Amino acid sequence: MERAAVVAGLGGWVPPTIVTNDQLAGVLDTSDEWIRRRTGIRERRWVSPGQSTGDLAVEAGRRALSSAGLEDVDAVVLATSSPDRHCPATAPEVATRLGLGPVPAFDVAAVCTGFVYALATGAGMVALGAARSVLVIGADAFSTLLAPDDRSTRVIFGDGGGAVVLRTGSPTEPGALTGLNLGSDGSLSDLIEVPAGGSRQRSTGLPAKTEDTYFTMQGQAVYAQAVRRMAESVKETARRTGWDPAEIDRFVLHQANARILEAVARRLGLPPERFLSNIEVRGNTVAASIPLALADGVASGELRPGHKVVLAGFGGGLTWGSMALVWPRLAPPATASAEPAVASAGADPGPP
Ligand code: COA
């Protein structure tokens, strides 16, 4: 019988420190009104001093394992672009801290598409029979990469972790992942970058300029690419899954900007209510964004068993990707320690 990777557990976690727009407006030339109007973000969580991406990943992973009713998995894949250290990968330490033993554990770096790439990697391991279960985590502490005085990036990003457990199952059961579509365009790699710190800069032997050690983004160009690439990827995943886009109940897209979600909905000619959004209180949490939106969506009741769901990410690289599944019935706890935070209009009555 054909094997499929099936979502069997879900968890999310955000650090306790809330940073409001007004707090940012107190130290940067910005305002609550500008941030809300241009991004839809009201507040975000940031790690506190000493807290790291690995800490976020451990908390999210623990909740996903508990939701799946498992204490062990055969592998850990961690999507992150803000690892605890440049070397080694963060995943092995996360696996050890979760008590998972000497399982294969590695990082996947695809910035805001990282979770979809990690999900594809984990699903591939299951489909090959290389693992019966995989913990797939997306976690980023991107606040640590932002220049203290850069209002254009500082208002957007939040920190967090989200995770799913994949297990071996059948392609026809709820939770089975399907319709994978991934892509990249390295000719636009400069649109989203941390210029210094990598081998290209270090091989010069010259010290990095401080400003080059921070994250930079060409906002408008990224915006246009995000809308185009996510809309195209969603359509391709729907086609590969054999679904008409109009019959898809929920779109769980990377939460980059509320206006990007609305623009993708418009481009696809679909009701915006079907696009889950927690950006108001999470901000852009990079690789954690999609699994956190799933966890918040389940907690709020916006995402329910039986829903036809498409996940889609877009980020630096450039990279993009989508997958589809029928949402399965999962055991709680599925959500973050913080309150559920989904704000889709909820006008759509939901599952078939
Ligand atoms: N507060 C106030 N003004 C700000 C600001 C802030 N936080 N950030 C930028 N501005 C200013 C700019 O300096 C610019 O001023 P100017 O016209 O005097 O030069 C003006 O606002 C417009 O800037 P612009 O970059 O055109 O704004 P925008 O409407 O495109 O919004 C983003 C900026 C970043 C919110 C938006 O481009 C975006 O969301 N891009 C995609 C981000 C994304 O998806 N990133 C992650 C990809 S995974």
pTM: 0.94
- The protein residue whose alpha carbon is closest to atom 43 in ligand 1 is 256
Q: What is the pLDDT of residue 346?
A: 30
List, by residue range, all CATH 3.40.47.10 domains of the chain: 4-169, 178-344
Res 336 pLDDT > 60: no
Is 257 among the residues known to form the active site?
no
Residue-wise pLDDT for 158-195, tens only, equals 999 999 999 999 999 999 999 999 999 999 999 999 99
Q: Region 44-57: what's the mean pLDDT?
A: 97
Whether 68 lines ligand 1, by a CB cut-off of 6 Å, is: no
- The model's confidence at residue 21, banded by pLDDT at 50, 70 and 90, is very high
What is 178-344's CATH topology? Peroxisomal Thiolase; Chain A, domain 1 (3.40.47)
103 Cα to the center of ligand 1, angstroms: 43
Q: Using CA atoms, how far apart are residues 55 and 57, in angstroms rounded to an integer?
A: 5
pLDDT at 331: 80
219 C-alpha vs ligand 1 centroid, how far in Å?
A: 6
Q: Are 113 and 313 in contact (CB under 8 A)?
A: yes
Mutation test residue for ligand 1: of 220, 253, 254, the one with most atoms within 8 Å of CB: 220
pLDDT tens, position by position, 60-111: 999 999 999 999 999 999 999 999 999 999 999 999 999 999 999 999 999 9
CATH superfamily ID and name for 4-169:
Thiolase/Chalcone synthase (3.40.47.10)
284 labelled catalytic: yes
Strand intervals (E) in 16-150: 18-20, 43-45, 75-79, 105-108, 133-140
Average pLDDT over residues 198-202: 96
* Phi, psi for residue 139 in degrees, rounded to 5: -145, 140
Is 226 near ligand 1, meaning CB less than 6 Å away? yes
Mean pLDDT calculated for residue range 248-255: 98
Q: Which ranges constitute the DSSP H helices of 177-257?
A: 199-202, 219-241
- Greatest CA span in the chain, whole angstroms? 61
* Alpha carbons 51 and 59: distance in angstroms, whole number: 12
Residue 2, pLDDT score: 87
Annotation marks residue 278 as catalytic: no
In 3D, which of 92, 119, 158, 102 has the Cα closest to residue 6?
A: 119
Mean pLDDT of the chain: 94
- Taking the C-alpha atoms of residue 154 and residue 164, their distance in angstroms, rounded to an integer, is 28
Which amino acid belongs to residue 290?
A: I
pLDDT at 304 over 50: yes
Strands 160-169 and 192-193: unpaired
Q: Which amino acid residue places its CA nearest to atom 39 of ligand 1?
A: 257
